[in-house]
Chains A and B, each alone.
Chain A
Amino acid sequence: MNLPWLTILTFVPLFGGIVVAGLGAEQRRLARGLALAFSLVGLAGALCLWKHFDAASGDLQFVEKHDWVPSLGIQYFLGVDGLSLLMVMLTAIVTPLAVLASGSMFDGKAGSLLAIHRSPLPAAGGVRGDGAHGVARPTQGGAHIFYALMLWLQAGLFGTFTALNFFHWFLFWELVLIPAFFLIKLWGGPKRGPAATQFFIYTMVGSVTLLLSFLAIRLATGSFDFIELADMAKRGEITAKLGEAIGWKAHIGLLVFFGAFLGFAVKVPVVPFHTWLPSAYAEAPGPVTMLLTGVMSKMGVYGFLRVLLPIFPEQIRLVLTPLMWLAVLTIVLSACAAFAQRDLKRILAYSSINHLGYCLLALFAVTGAATGVNQPELQKAAALNGVLLQMFNHGLTASALFLFVWLIEKRSGGLRGLEDFGGIRKVVPVFTGLMGIALFSSLGLPGLNGFVGEFLIFKGVFPLAPWAAALSTLGLLVTAIFLLTLIQRVFCGPLNGRWAQMPDLTLSERALVAVPIALMFVLGIWPQLVLGVIDLTVVKMVQQLNF
């Protein structure tokens, strides 16, 4: 059948959100059930795409292309290749997990949406670490709105990962921002207000410069089509046309590039455009953080891969060395900063920046001219495969880790400081074991998913930029230090008497975390499952960059 599968996929959660939003404030269980059902339909759709995707071709598939506003070069243009498919899959996996994890947020008596603002912070009392905020508030209202926003977020992500015309894509890119903002603003921790605002403004500034850059490109080339623009860039036409259309030939290309770069750099984030991230991740409620780190942070890297690399390769080469330094700084500084944090969520937030830093490192390295390198295309293919794998793996692992922190917050009444626990392995052995697996996956232990991506990145980047690869290993070391410190402080040592009654994971919680943990093992042992699907896409991307 020739149905518009991608449109359907995007509209299922969009429609689901409308349905859920229409429920009454009292129908909390129904809202959650419906949200889960719609996200599972999304998962089923993504699985169908995965199954019918022809891995023997690196081309765009399931393409839908219709004129929208022809006079402005705006088209309704959807399609997936290995990269998009992988990201769609990640979104489809993480969203139902986040919906399931949010179950406890709306237990107890319901309130209206307004009640959220009035609800006092819980008096968790007792020792309160620097970053230990009361978060798990059992009586919160607005379940229907919460779940509608979650679904819209998912729809926005699906749209972002499948759209291929700038205008269309930008619409979804911004659409993601709005539910995310409200999810942090309405259901976040005590400092949610500033965190949400900072998050919104930061991303908005990036979006504005991105939009300006693309308006300039539209003015010069008459096209919004990513594929067409990439072809032009390969022929070296974009810079020339920009010069003709706007003037200031020497620098206009770079200026336009920086505008677009800022848009993506904020989203990934690249140091020093990252300061919104730790507070946004820390203040957002656990399930929302899962989506933020699991999928939204991939939007930036996706943007780099889909937009920046194919359209601005010339400009990237011009400023390659500073960009490589930025990537190295992102890796090392964020790892060091993570070591200084005292709030589990902030530690993981910085760790998240660090992990995406490896993606940046590889992204910039593959854009270089690679003169005098043995088999440059193979190295680039390794690095880019590593990037894609790392994106997926990080989405899986980081959202699992935030899920674990969420579960621990539920048990501690919102405490989540590094020093608030101690020795709890004795009372929650299963929790410790499973979270330990996730932590070691994040640390890059071979046999779990994190390793393969990092290995491929280093394998590819080392011949292309040995110094950057060597410096970046510092990030691997510091990551080991802070993650093991986390294990040591939280789980080992004498049991903190306060938690002597802490309950271990319930059966349903075990079932919930079993999904990401199982995937970690599967992808660690059999990475070909993903690589087989993305490799030809990557080969095509490398050819695109090869001129």
Chain B
Amino acid sequence: MTWIAQNLWLIPVLPLAASGVIAVNKQRQHKLAATLAIGSMVLAFLLSLCAFSATLIHHGESGVFREVAGFNWLQFGGQWLQLGWVLDPLTAIMLVMVSFVSLLIFIFSVGYMAHDENFTRFFCFMSLFAAAMLGVVIANNLLLFFVCWEIVGLTSYLLIGFWYHKPSAAAAAKKAFITTRIGDLGLLLGMVWLYAETGTLNFYADGHGCLESSALTAMVTHMTAAGMAVSTAIGLLIFLGAVGKSGQLPLHVWLPDAMEGPTPVSALIHAATMVAAGVFLVARVYPLMSAHPEGAAAETAALQVVTWVGALTAIFAASVAVAQTDIKRILAYSTVSQLGYMMLGLGVGGVAVGMFHLITHAFFKALLFLGSGSVIHGCHEEQDVRKMGGLKKFMPVTFATYAIGMLALAGFPLFFSGFWSKDEILHAAHGWPVSHIPFFLGCAGALLTAFYMTRQVALVFFGEYRSSGRQSAHSSSKTDKHEKSAPTHVGGYDGKGEPHESPAVMIVPLVILAVFAILLGFVGTPAWPWFDGFLNGEPAGFNFSKLTESGTLGLMLASAGFVFTGLGLGWWLYGKRQRKTAEEPDVLQVAQPAVFRLLENKYFVDEIYDATGVRFNAWAAQACDFLDRWIWGGVVMLVTWVTLGLSSLYRFTDEFVVDLGFDTGCETLREGGGEMSRWQNGRVQTYLRVIGVALVVLVLFLIWGRKT
């Protein structure tokens, strides 16, 4: 076994240790906190590279390179439950992505959070997050996976509610935790079911793992209720966990609200890595999801559900993003939509398709979020795109990198990574034998993506700056809302209220991410499907003719067509005729007020949940309380009253019947006794007198008797 596979646990433990040390140190030690967090991430990144190169070296030897290691954790019924980690291409690629993106975002945060009074706490939570996320990635055991997964959820909760004094942040944090927990309960049930069926939670263990053929064959043939194979049922329960974490319909509601957290958090957790954990989970348990009996269709019910959920989420969220005005919310809905694409890719094309989009998306979405952070920072904590405009000239580097990110997300042909990964998904969807609808939904989503990103960029960076006149009044009204985020601005606040470019510590990560947003696409083109081959353990060669094959080329042209339509429409509606003031209504709002209202309010999903789930929960709580106070408590009170009543009855009988009789009897006796006692009053004269009288009587009686 390679050294790195043996010591893979170091990768999550390093940031974990950093987080622990930061937690017990004083709040003021900013430098120590940042150094520890970044230092541990650098080490984790280097080790990840090590792991990655190990998989590269062994790539193509015999099937998929995979090494596992583990340890005994706990014991029940004489059996050990083993936890462990696995090094395979899937782990390696995620390790590199997570540690690298985290590292860049940590560096960016040093600038962004520089003036926050809770700077150290921020890095403590971020390190803990990175540790848990890396733990999710290396876990070779569903239980260890779940443990790390929940800690990821915790850090997400802590970071969304980082500015806890804002009620909206506190509410958003709670909403995020609870919504994802709904999914996690499905995952928990799926996990215990899987455990019961296979007797192990280890993914891979020399043929005994729950994702290996012997276990899968048993589960495929074992039927449960409604004619569903056990593997399908378990797969769906596990998928529920992924739905919660990855913001898929219908559990997507928490993700847009999660933007209450600081922007680097949104970039790292709610765009690049954590939300992708759900996609990663599906990729990890893909053998289970796709397990099917010999001869049956390869499109299992579980994968069909994944596909449909993904496709619907992709189009749903893309359409909502069209009508949002908050720069981060637009990106948030775009994230939901892209996660839908990843699920769609997993469902129709397999692990490599979904994972490729995950990796490219991580880079360009982190870039976009950090870019938006730079914009927000430069505009003095303004988040409303209607109040921006013309930032191109104030923040040239931010604009250039943001544009790259936007083109990558929109899927601009050939030169941007997003194009290749999205194209691969659409290609797989096109070939899906079950239905063509997901393909059409995906195409429509691609068009909308290009459209809303153009709208955003046009509103933010082009035209005239629409907020400068009212800046001073405005920024003061905003200060209390964002009191913590940046009381003073980095990079020279010029006092005139004009937007400004961000400092180098924030710009450099943007540039690096932008480079990757372009380059990454080339490892997964149809001509050189290296990524595909790497994950599947097959060698990949250059083959330019693949590009020009009719099916591939046709689809590429079609998808490019959708993208250009979206870009063009966006530019025509928002770029060419810039809005003059921040207040004027949106072009779409004028044209289609009803539709716009629906989209603006996110199809009223939150309202529907409030009216049903939340209200039901409150009702159930009141009902249970009522039950307790009046029904169970009522029975107790009834028993009490009955007991008291009986007691009173007894008392009554005692006092007025028994006692009275007793008293009367006693009185009579007493009086009788008193009467009797007169006979014994101790006066000798009386006694003698009585004796004398008695003697006389006796004598008379005797005399009278003698006579007769």
Contact = CB atoms under 8 A, between A and B. Distances in A.
A196 B97 CA distance: 60
Contacts of A480: 177-178, 181
Interface string B193-210: 101110100000000000
B32 interface: no
Given A446-B146, A473-B185, A493-B170, A340 B76 contact: no
Contact of B174 (A340, A485, A535): A485
A84 interface: no
Interface stretch (B40-48, B330-338, B364-372, B626-634): B626-634
Contact of A337 (B193, B618, B628, B636): B628
A487 B195 CA distance: 34
A446 to B, nearest CB: 4
Contacts of A202: 636
A274 interface: yes
A462 B189 CA distance: 8
Interface residues of B, number: 54
Contact of A470 (B75, B189, B628): B189
Nearest to A380: B77
Nearest to B118: A429
A111 interface: no
Nearest to B197: A374
A73 interface: no
B343 to A, nearest CB: 24
B62 interface: no
B181 A477 contact: yes
A477 B182 contact: yes
Contacts of A423: 164-165
A278 B76 CA distance: 34
Contacts of B606: none
Contacts of B635: 272
Interface in A474-518: 476-478, 480-481, 484-485, 487-488, 491-495
A91 to B, nearest CB: 24
B617 A478 contact: yes
A535 B189 contact: no
A481 B178 CA distance: 6
Interface string B427-439: 0000000000000
6 contacts: A278-B628, A336-B624, A374-B199, A469-B192, A492-B169, A531-B76
Contacts of B161: 492
Interface in A375-397: 375, 377-382, 385
A531 to B, nearest CB: 5
B77 A445 contact: no
A542 B635 CA distance: 37
Contacts of A379: 196
Interface stretch (B108-116, B147-155, B355-363): B147-155
B693 interface: no
Interface string B161-183: 10011110111011001100110
Nearest to A494: B165
B76 A382 contact: yes
A458 B74 contact: no
Nearest to A440: B154
B664 interface: no
Contacts of B192: 455, 458-459, 462-463, 469
A388 to B, nearest CB: 10
A340 B625 contact: yes
A341 interface: yes
A528 interface: yes
A456 B627 CA distance: 31
Interface string A329-358: 000011011111100000000000000000
A491 B174 CA distance: 13
A463 B196 contact: yes
B620 interface: yes
Interface of A: 198, 202, 271-272, 274-276, 278, 333-334, 336-341, 373-375, 377-382, 385, 423, 425-426, 440, 445-447, 451-452, 455-456, 458-459, 462-463, 466, 469-470, 473, 476-478, 480-481, 484-485, 487-488, 491-495, 527-528, 531-532, 535-536, 538-539, 542
Contacts of B627: 333, 337
B623 A336 contact: yes
A447 to B, nearest CB: 6
A532 B154 CA distance: 29
A447 B147 contact: yes
A462 B75 contact: no
Given A275-B632, A379-B196, A488-B170, A477 B164 contact: no
Most buried by B among A446, A477, A494: A446
B196 A462 contact: yes
A538 B76 contact: yes
B622 interface: yes
B679 interface: no
Contacts of A462: 189, 192-193, 196
A297 to B, nearest CB: 17
B638 to A, nearest CB: 12
B79 interface: yes
A340 B624 contact: yes
A333 B182 CA distance: 18
Interface in B591-625: 617-618, 620-625
Contacts of B199: 374-375, 378
Given A451-B147, A462-B189, A463-B192, 20 more contacts: A275-B628, A275-B632, A336-B623, A340-B624, A385-B77, A426-B165, A446-B148, A452-B74, A481-B178, A484-B173, A487-B174, A488-B171, A493-B167, A493-B170, A495-B165, A528-B73, A528-B74, A531-B75, A538-B76, A539-B77
A375 B79 CA distance: 12
B188 interface: yes
Most buried by A among B182, B621, B627: B621
A459 B197 CA distance: 11
B78 interface: yes
B147 to A, nearest CB: 4
Given A340-B622, A455-B143, A271 B632 contact: yes
Contacts of A495: 165
A528 B166 CA distance: 41
Interface string B134-159: 00000000010011101100100100
Contacts of B148: 446
A337 B621 contact: yes
A333 B629 CA distance: 13
A385 B76 CA distance: 7
A278 B636 CA distance: 14
A132 B278 CA distance: 43
B154 A538 contact: no
B196 A528 contact: no
B178 A484 contact: yes
B185 A476 contact: yes
Contacts of B177: 480, 484
Contacts of B618: 339
Contact of A374 (B147, B196, B633): B196
Contacts of A340: 621-622, 624-625
Contacts of B74: 452, 527-528, 531
A92 to B, nearest CB: 23
Contacts of A278: 628
A320 to B, nearest CB: 19
Contacts of A476: 181, 185, 188
Given A485-B174, A493-B164, A336 B193 contact: no
Contacts of B624: 333-334, 336-337, 339-340
A426 B483 CA distance: 14
A447 B146 CA distance: 10
B165 A336 contact: no
A491 B76 contact: no
A382 B192 CA distance: 11
A445 B150 contact: yes
Contacts of A466: 193
Given A377-B77, A445-B151, A535-B75, A473 B188 contact: yes
